[in-house]
């Protein structure tokens, strides 16, 4: 993941262009390749020729309106608002003049990915610098117009101000011929504004994308209309890999009004195998025809795989101490195990989980003037653009992905696999095609969160001192399936691993002996395409780590918070590094200490009720968001049903750039955590997920809403991500609370009432 | 051919009688604010008003709506107090479910001007929000419900249907 991030923030090493274009002022990063060499004709010429990197760029028109163009996907995190506020704050802009626009991909543009809570984290410094460069230029031009010294000027409310004199940005833009290039080094000189002088960052604000989402005008991928388009629906084959179409009988489909035939897809990119799409002049016609058509297959080898088969393989792999890739190897856990007087072994499992984005996946594709135009909402255009190109046999510069609002991302739309059948169908029929998956199609084609098995072992010596912990985690690996080039080597260089399927196991507790193995479940890998799902690795590794920490604490008869604090000494590698993880484990200790007070930890509660604690450190060690969660639950001793009364969340994500957005994201992610803890889980049955719609798959709804008490540590440290970290600690906090309420230790997600009942001491 | 009123305008559709209203609204009449989520009446993304009451348009064949009055999110014309409250409370995240949430909530307030917490939960739990914006949805509804009598007036179900749509 480290490599991925470096690639995507490389524009921090680019030069920055500011120039008058038309009647406005345009500011943008130079292209990544040979940034300095290509700048030959001055900034204005570059900019008007659109020879810049459009990761983010902004314009000021001669009325002073500021348009911030954002290449990141808007899927509910209001990322455009956060980014625009960073820029606007540095510029000294009047926020009411700022608008955002989400832009399309073009292969010559920068790397486009929105995931892993990275957006604000990655853009904070470069956007601050870009805004500061813009301010500098506006001040220089404004000072000239005012006839004052630039050093005496500041900007505020979209004005350049010098004492009692001022001139608006609009007037500067109108009358200035501006042409400036800041080299990467010059740009690096700009330090983000000090917290005290910020006018927008960390202040309350309304998100710019919200009004359109209250009146039906926000445009999502599914809303796209292309002239003369045909509607299509896929017939999803019985296995994800290896299905071959043997025959199609569409005699019943022909009775559907508006039916326009079917296509058997042949995919040179090999993303899909054995696919048929059904066409009609209305979507409902395509749905009906899809139900009526009969397709015969030679099925792939995983046609009979069950969830239990995958779990069994995971259990065997996790148990085998030689399996997997070493990700953490501290001390000598083998020796610790040998010398141990007592030990504890626990196995944790999680079920397959669906993304279930509210908007089923879809794409509309049109071939026009030798260019393949793909219209859809997507989080990682750069990953699938080359795949689309390969599928349709065109070069990458002939594919454009047009971006829309995403009706939910959660990691599902990091994969762009749904573009492929749409593109192939449009190419085959020679007409624009809008392919929409029904909910059932969407579930069967989902890149689910893989079922997982984790084995944890703890060892104590004769003096009851904890010697160390061993952790093996087996699952299907999304990165192996979709972006294998991003897999790093293990610490012993003997093999690679998916960093997204183990992050969180490399936690901030100090242990003398600690080993972590990341293990690929090969049966999972064969049966489906494992996906990234909100909070990704820590979303399930945290389940094992934080449940087990509680088990270890209880075995030692120590309060679970005291126990955790004793290991959060911020020594060695857990000391943290400036600026991103400054303070290290100390910041975790702080949230833990604070939440203990806040929740009146240790209070006596009515029978069958309990509090449980868990902590999390966000997505990755090099972008930690420090968090703690306390769950207050009540267990029905007759049925094992769990009611969550309250979730308290305390997060330290450094500077909170967009406070209300941060709160909204955390409300959402904590409720996701609760939904995954108690309500969501499906199972593979005959090679596919068995739950494909809401009649049997039941995410949390309003009647399950607990009281939420969410707060953020107030500091001015480097801002880290927030879209996902709130999720991580919730499930283990609930499980630990169940244990404190009724003495039942549950180790499987989701936590089912039967499992609670079975685990209750009689 | 089926005739009905869509946001106050008489219209006709030639779609097959079993076609769900959802697709007629979206694809024939181009009103894309009403969304497709599940297709089986279990998520609420497709909620519209049928003679003033919220229904799931994905599961309502147009053969069943002859001469009915249908109102969609567009038909609220940005005038509904819930829409303002939704912005004030910054409810939407991805936003995909929110047309349906607002139409459902409007249905609640049309028959119950001052719902209790439990009544809100019971009425709104058929509407899934995958982004889990429930706390804000609830707050926004409560906010509108406790506003002045004027709101109650608009939602008095005994008034003529035009007014019960919540459009003044
Ligand atoms: S789409 Fe109609 S209720 Fe889900
Ligand atoms: S706001 Fe995204 S589904 Fe409700």
Q: Which domains are seen in chain A, by residue range?
A: 2-209 (3.30.365.10), 221-301+361-436 (3.30.365.10), 308-352+449-759 (3.30.365.10)
Q: Which of A298-307, A397-406, A749-758 has the lowest mean pLDDT?
A: A397-406
- B94 C-beta closer than 6 A to ligand 2: yes
> Which residue from A477, A459, A460, A466 is spatially nearest to A327, judged by alpha carbons?
A477
CA distance A93 to A319: 59
pLDDT value at residue A350: 98
Query: Which of B30, B35, B78, B95 to substitute to test the interface with A, most A CBs within 10 Å?
Result: B95
- Cα(A408)–Cα(A405) distance, rounded to whole angstroms? 9
The neighbour count for residue A622, using CB atoms within 10 Å, is: 15
**Could B39 and A211 be called an inter-chain contact, meaning their C-beta atoms sit closer than 8 Å?**
no
**DSSP-assigned beta bridge partners for residue A685:** A688
**SS3 state of residue B165:** coil
Q: Report the C-alpha dihedral over residues A500, A628, A613, A517, rounded to 10 degrees.
A: 20
Q: Do A284 and B20 touch (CB under 8 A)?
A: yes
CB proximity list for B125: less than 8 A, separation 6 or greater: A701, A702, A703
Q: Say if residues A128 and A56 touch (Cβ distance below 8 Å).
A: no
Token pair, residue A437, equals 């998956």
Q: Is B6 in the A-facing interface, judged by CB distances under 8 Å?
A: no
Tens digit of each residue's pLDDT (9 = 90 or more) over A331-381: 999 999 999 999 999 999 999 999 999 999 999 999 999 999 999 998 887
Per CB-CB distance under 8 Å, the chain A contacts of B26 are 223
Q: Left (φ > 0), alpha (ψ -120 to 50) or beta: where does B158 sit?
A: alpha
Residues B14 and B26: their CA atoms lie apart, in Å, by 14
Residues 103-142 (B) with a CB less than 8 A from some CB of A: 120-122, 124-138
Is the model's pLDDT at A41 over the cut of 60?
A: no
**B60-77 tens-digit pLDDT:** 999 999 999 999 999 999
CA proximity to A719, closest of A623, A628, A584, A620? A623
Give dist(CA A671, CA A674) in Å, integer: 5
Residue A722: partners with Cβ closer than 8 Å, 6 or more residues away: A117, A120, A625, A651, A653, A656, A662, A665, A666, A669
**Distance to chain B for A264, nearest Cα, Å:** 26
Which spans in A599-691 are helix H? Answer: 659-678
Residue A108 clears pLDDT 60, i.e. is over it = no
The residue to mutate among B42, B104, B131, having the most atoms of ligand 2 within 8 angstroms of its beta carbon, is B131
What residues are in contact with ligand 1 under a 6 Å CB criterion? B 36-39, 41-46, 56, 58
Interface touch A693/B39, C-beta < 8 Å: yes
Count CA atoms within 13 Å of residue A381 on its CB side.
29
Half-sphere exposure of A95 (CA within 13 A, CB side): 17
Q: Which of A195-199, A224-228, A278-282, B12-16 has the lowest mean pLDDT?
A: A195-199
Please give the residue of chain B at the shortest CA–CA distance from A361: B37
- The reply to whether residue A210 touches residue B91, judged by beta carbons under 8 angstroms, is yes
Distances (CA, A) of A528 to A6, A111, A576, A689, A693: 29, 27, 38, 10, 18
Do residues A293 and A250 touch, judged by C-beta distance below 8 A?
yes
Dist CA A361 CA A376 (whole Å): 9
Ligand 2 contact, B41 CB (< 6 A): no
- Cross-sheet strand order for the sheet of A433-436: A259-264, A276-280, A230-235, A433-436, A362-368, A371-375, A399-402
Please enumerate in sequence order all residues whose Cβ is within 8 A of that of A144, keeping only pairs 6 or more positions apart, or say none. A176
- Residue B42 and residue A694: Cβ atoms within 8 Å? yes
Query: How confident is the model over B28-43, as pLDDT tens digits?
Result: 999 999 999 999 999 9
Mean residue pLDDT of chain A comes to 90
How many CB atoms are located within 10 Å of the residue A562 CB? 12
User: Do B37 and A210 count as a contact with CB atoms less than 8 A apart?
Assistant: no
Assign B148 a pLDDT band (cuts: 50, 70, 90). low
Q: What tokens does A167 get?
A: 């001139």
At A386, the pLDDT band (50, 70, 90 cuts) reads very high
- Determine the pLDDT at residue A717: 86
CB contact under 8 A, B131 and A703: no
Question: Is B61 near chain A, with CB under 8 Å?
Answer: no
State whether the beta carbon of B44 lies less than 6 angstroms from ligand 2.
no
Beta-bridge partners for A650: A628, A711
For A375, what's the count of Cα atoms within 13 Å in the CB-facing half-sphere?
A: 20
Confidence of residue A724 (pLDDT cuts 50, 70, 90): confident
- Residue of A358, A406, A409 to test ligand 2 pocket, by largest number of atoms within 8 Å of CB: A358
* Mean pLDDT value across residues A289-311: 98
Closest approach of B102 to chain A, Cα-based (Å)? 8
Cα of A331 from ligand 2 centre, angstroms: 47
Considering only residues 24 to 83 of chain A, which have any Cβ-Cβ distance to chain B shorter than 8 Å?
Answer: 75-78
pLDDT digits (tens, 9 = 90+) for A599-653: 999 999 999 999 999 999 988 898 899 999 999 999 999 999 999 999 999 999 9
Residue B57 CA, ligand 1 centroid: distance in Å: 7
Radius of gyration of the CA atoms of chain A, in A: 27
B89 touches chain A (CB under 8 A): no
For chain A, positions 667-726, list CB contacts with chain B under 8 A. 667-668, 671-672, 675, 693-695, 699-703, 705, 708
Q: How far is residue A94's CA from residue A87's CA, in Å, rounded to a whole number?
A: 11
- Which residue of B lies nearest to A217 if distances are taken between CA atoms? B33
Q: Residue B27's CB: how many other CB atoms inside 10 A?
A: 19
pLDDT value for A15: 75
Chain B residue with minimum CA distance to A218: B33
What is the distance in A from the centroid of ligand 1 to the CA of B157?
25
Any CB–CB contact under 8 A between B45 and chain A? Answer: yes
| Nearest Cβ partner for B32 among A76, A216, A699 | A216
Q: How many angstroms separate the alpha carbon of residue A634 from the centre of ligand 2?
A: 28
Q: What is the pLDDT of residues A73-104, one digit of tens each?
A: 777 778 788 788 888 999 999 999 998 877 66
Average pLDDT value for residue range A54-72? 77
For chain B, domains (ranges, CATH) are 2-75 (3.10.20.30), 76-147 (1.10.150.120)
Q: Residue A448: pLDDT above 80?
A: yes
Give residue A27's Cα distance to chain centre. 28
What does the pLDDT read at residue A353? 98
Cis peptide before B54 (omega within 30 of 0): no
Task: Verify whether the Cβ–Cβ distance B94 to A405 is below 8 Å.
Answer: yes
Which mutation among B36, B97, B125 tests ligand 2's pocket best, with the greatest number of atoms within 8 A of CB?
B97
> With contacts defined as CB-CB under 8 Å, which chain B residues touch A438?
39
Omega of the bond leading into A494 within 30 degrees of 0 (cis): no
Q: How confident is the model at residue A49 (pLDDT cuts 50, 70, 90)?
A: low
Return the pLDDT at A367. 98
Beta-carbon count within 10 A of A597 CB: 8
Amino acid A716: pLDDT: 85
Cα(A17)–Cα(A749) distance, integer angstroms: 51
Residue A188 — pLDDT band, cuts 50, 70, 90?
Answer: confident
Q: For residues A368 and A496, give the distance between their C-alpha atoms in angstroms, rounded to a whole number.
A: 42
What does the pLDDT read at residue A206?
83
ω into A175 cis (within 30 of 0): no
CB–CB contact B98 A213 (8 Å)? yes
B96 ligand 2 Cβ < 6 A: yes
Indicate yes or no: CB of A405 within 8 angstroms of CB of B35: no
The ligand whose atoms approach the alpha carbon of B38 most closely is 1
Find which of A3-17, A401-415, A682-696 is predicted with most confidence, using mean pLDDT: A682-696
Reading the block at residue A585, the tokens are 């484990």
3-state secondary structure of A361: coil
Residues of B in contact with A726 (CB under 8 A): none
Q: What is the pLDDT of residues A486-497, one digit of tens each?
A: 899 999 999 999
Report which listed range, A118-122, A264-268, A478-482, is most confident: A264-268
pLDDT > 60? residue B168: no
Of the listed ranges A68-72, A295-299, B1-5, the least confidently predicted one is A68-72
pLDDT reported for residue A365: 98
pLDDT digits (tens, 9 = 90+) for A131-152: 898 899 999 999 999 999 999 9
> At residue A577, what are phi and psi to the nearest 5 degrees?
-135, 145
Instruction: Outline where A229-357 has alpha helix (H).
Output: 283-292, 307-319, 333-339
Q: Is B167 on the interface with A (CB under 8 A)?
A: no
Closest ligand by atom to A360 CA: 1
Cα separation of A297 and A191, whole Å? 61
Amino acid A33: pLDDT: 40
Chain segment A148-180, per-residue pLDDT in tens? 999 999 999 999 999 999 999 999 998 868 888
> Which of B23, B40, B42 lies nearest to residue A283, judging by beta carbons?
B23
pLDDT higher than 90, residue B11: yes
Q: CA A546, CA A579: separation in Å to the nearest integer?
A: 27
Q: Is residue A284 within 8 angstroms of chain B, CB to CB?
A: yes
A5 confidence band (pLDDT: 50, 70, 90): very low
What is the rounded CA–CA span in Å between residue A269 and residue A283? Answer: 27
Model confidence over A14-29: pLDDT tens digits?
677 788 777 777 777 7
């Amino acid at each position: 993941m480290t490599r991925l991030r470096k690639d995507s923030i490389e524009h921090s090493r680019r030069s920055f262009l500011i120039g008058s274009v038309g009647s406005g002022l345009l500011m943008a990063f130079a292209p990544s390749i040979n940034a300095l060499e290509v700048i030959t004709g001055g900034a204005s010429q570059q900019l008007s020729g659109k020879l810049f990197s459009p990761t983010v760029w902004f314009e000021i028109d001669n009325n002073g309106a500021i348009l911030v163009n954002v290449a990141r996907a808007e899927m509910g995190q209001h990322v455009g608002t956060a980014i625009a506020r960073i820029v606007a704050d540095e510029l000294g802009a009047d926020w009411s003049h700022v608008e955002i626009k989400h832009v399309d991909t073009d292969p010559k543009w920068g790397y486009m990915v929105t995931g892993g809570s990275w957006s604000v984290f990655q853009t904070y410094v470069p956007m601050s610098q870009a805004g500061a460069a813009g301010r500098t230029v506006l001040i220089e031009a404004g000072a000239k117009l005012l006839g004052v010294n630039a050093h005496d000027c500041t900007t505020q409310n979209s004005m350049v101000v010098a004492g009692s004199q001022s001139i608006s940005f609009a007037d500067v833009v109108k009358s200035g011929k501006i042409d400036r290039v800041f080299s990467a080094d010059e740009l690096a000189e700009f330090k983000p504004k000090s917290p005290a002088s910020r006018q927008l960052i960390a202040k309350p604000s309304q998100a710019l994308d919200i009004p359109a989402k209250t009146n039906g005008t926000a445009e999502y991928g599914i809303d796209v209309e292309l002239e003369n388009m045909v509607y299509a629906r896929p017939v999803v084959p019985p296995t994800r890999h290896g299905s071959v179409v043997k025959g199609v009988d569409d005699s019943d489909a022909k009775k559907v009004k508006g039916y326009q035939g079917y296509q058997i897809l042949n995919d040179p990119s090999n993303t899909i195998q054995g696919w048929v799409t059904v066409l009609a002049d209305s979507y409902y016609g395509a749905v009906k025809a899809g139900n009526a058509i009969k397709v015969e297959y030679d099925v792939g080898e995983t046609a009979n795989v069950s969830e239990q088969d995958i779990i069994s393989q995971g259990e065997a792999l996790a148990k085998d101490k030689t399996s997997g890739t070493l990700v953490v190897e501290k001390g000598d856990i083998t020796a610790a195990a040998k010398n141990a007087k007592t030990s504890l072994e626990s196995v944790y499992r999680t079920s397959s989980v669906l993304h279930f984005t509210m908007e089923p996946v879809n794409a509309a594709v049109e071939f026009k003037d030798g260019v393949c135009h793909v219209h859809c909402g997507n989080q990682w255009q750069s990953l699938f653009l080359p795949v689309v190109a390969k599928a349709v046999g065109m070069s990458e510069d002939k594919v454009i992905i047009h971006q829309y609002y995403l009706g939910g991302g959660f990691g599902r739309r990091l994969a762009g696999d749904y573009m492929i059948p749409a593109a192939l169908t449009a190419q085959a029929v020679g007409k624009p095609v809008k392919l929409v998956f029904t909910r059932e199609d969407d579930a069967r084609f989902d890149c689910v969160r893989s079922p997982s098995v984790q084995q944890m072992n703890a060892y104590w010596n004769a003096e009851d001192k904890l010697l160390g912990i061993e952790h093996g985690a087996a699952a299907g690996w999304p990165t192996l399936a979709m972006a294998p080039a991003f897999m790093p080597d293990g610490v012993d260089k003997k093999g690679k691993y998916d960093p997204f399927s183990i992050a969180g196991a490399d936690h901030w507790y100090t242990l003398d002996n600690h080993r972590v193995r990341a293990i690929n479940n090969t049966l999972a890998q064969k049966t489906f395409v494992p996906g990234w799902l909100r909070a990704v690795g820590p979303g399930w590794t945290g389940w094992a780590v934080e449940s087990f920490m509680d088990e270890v604490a209880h075995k030692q008869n120590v309060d679970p918070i005291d126990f955790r604090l004793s290991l959060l000494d911020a020594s060695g590698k857990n000391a943290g590094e400036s600026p991103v993880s400054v303070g290290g484990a100390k910041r975790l200790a702080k949230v833990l200490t604070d939440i203990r007070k806040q929740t009146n930890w240790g209070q006596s509660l009515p029978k069958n009720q309990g509090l449980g604690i868990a902590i999390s450190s966000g997505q990755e060690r090099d972008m930690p968001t420090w968090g703690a969660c306390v769950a207050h639950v009540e267990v029905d001793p007759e049925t094992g049903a769990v009611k969550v009364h309250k979730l308290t969340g305390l997060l330290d994500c450094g500077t909170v750039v967009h406070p209300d957005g941060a709160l909204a994201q955390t409300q959402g992610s904590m409720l996701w955590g609760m939904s995954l803890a108690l309500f969501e889980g499906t199972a593979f049955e005959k090679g596919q997920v068995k739950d494909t719609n809401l009649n049997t798959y039941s995410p949390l709804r309003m009647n399950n809403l607990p009281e939420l008490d969410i707060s953020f540590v107030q500091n001015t440290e480097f801002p880290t991500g927030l879209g996902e970290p709130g999720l991580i600690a919730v499930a283990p906090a609930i499980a630990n609370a169940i244990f404190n309420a009724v003495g039942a230790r549950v180790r499987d997600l989701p936590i089912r009432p039967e499992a609670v009942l079975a685990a209750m001491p009689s | 051919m089926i005739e009905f009123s869509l946001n106050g305008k008489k219209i006709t559709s030639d779609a097959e009688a079993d076609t769900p209203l959802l697709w007629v609204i979206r694809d024939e009449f181009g009103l894309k604010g009403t969304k497709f989520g599940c297709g089986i009446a279990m998520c609420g993304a497709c909620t519209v008003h049928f003679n003033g009451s919220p229904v799931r348009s994905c599961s309502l064949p147009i053969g069943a709506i002859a001469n009915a009055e249908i109102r969609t999110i567009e038909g609220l014309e940005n005038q509904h107090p819930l829409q303002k409250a939704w912005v004030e409370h910054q409810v939407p995240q991805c936003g995909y479910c929110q047309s349906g949430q607002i139409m459902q909530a409007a249905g609640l307030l049309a028959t119950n001007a001052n719902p209790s917490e439990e009544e809100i939960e019971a009425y709104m739990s058929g509407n899934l929000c995958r982004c889990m914006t429930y706390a804000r949805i609830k707050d926004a509804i409560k906010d509108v419900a406790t506003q002045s009598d004027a709101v109650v007036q608009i939602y008095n179900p005994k008034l003529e249907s035009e007014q019960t749509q919540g459009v003044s």
